[in-house]
């Protein structure tokens, strides 16, 4: 059994405004930095991060000075034309309604669908859990929900929503993630 911690990055300006933020490379907001300042994360042997700044900055705050291994395929899904917009701004858009009604299976215009995001994230996760020792992944809320839905027994997506800077403690048994609690 291997300990795996899944952290969502800290708050960005768009998170605070409840805007879709997938591929946009924003830094943490001052409030996001302050919420993570001085926080002690459980020690791990390896630290994996999404390539986006908000994850790399969060990892530096949680694990100062630890080597970050950037994993391109752990990035958030791309929201295409919905990127940077809020629900209120999009709620009357027929393409947005179709995307919501499909639970993300239909890709947003110019964006990535759930199946594509799942395949990419799973491939990345399964390659890195082959490394020895415990691991922390500083990634995105959508990526965490995708991995947990695919690899945890409940097979639920929205059950695994985590707030900015929050995380899940799991065990990897070689075939599934076993949820142990919040970090």
In sequence order, which residues have a C-beta less than 8 Å from that of residue 71 and are 6 or more positions away?
48, 49, 50, 51, 124, 128, 137
Cβ atoms of residues 74 and 105 within 8 Å: no
Q: Which of 57, 72, 76, 149 is catalytic?
A: 76
Q: Which of 9, 57, 112, 140 is catalytic?
A: 9
Q: Is 140 a catalytic residue?
A: no
How far apart (Å, rounded) are the C-alpha atoms in residues 147 and 150?
A: 5
- Give whole-number Cα distances, 120 to 49, 58, 131, 141, 142, in Å: 15, 22, 18, 15, 12
How far apart (Å, rounded) are the C-alpha atoms in residues 143 and 133?
A: 22
Q: Is 85 a catalytic residue?
A: no
Q: Which element (helix H / strand E) includes 34?
A: helix 30-36
Q: Which residues are catalytic?
A: 9, 76
């Amino acid at each position: 059994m291997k300990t795996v911690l899944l952290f969502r990055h800290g708050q960005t300006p768009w998170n605070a405004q409840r805007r879709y933020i997938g591929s946009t490379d924003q830094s943490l907001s001052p409030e996001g930095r302050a919420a993570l300042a001085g926080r002690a994360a459980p020690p791990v042997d390896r630290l994996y991060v999404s390539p986006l700044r908000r994850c790399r900055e969060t990892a530096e705050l949680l694990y100062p000075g630890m080597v970050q291994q950037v994993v391109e395929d752990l990035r958030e899904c791309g929201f295409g034309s919905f990127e940077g917009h809020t629900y209120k701004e999009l709620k009357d858009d027929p393409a947005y309604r179709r995307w919501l009604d499909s639970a993300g299976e239909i890709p947003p215009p110019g964006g990535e669908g759930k199946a594509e995001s799942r395949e990419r994230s799973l491939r990345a996760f399964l390659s890195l859990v082959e490394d020895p020792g415990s691991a922390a992944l500083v990634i995105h809320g959508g990526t965490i929900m995708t991995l947990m839905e695919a690899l945890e027994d409940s097979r639920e997506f929205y059950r695994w929503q985590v707030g900015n800077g929050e995380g899940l403690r799991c065990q990897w048994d070689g075939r599934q993630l076993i949820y142990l609690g919040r970090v």
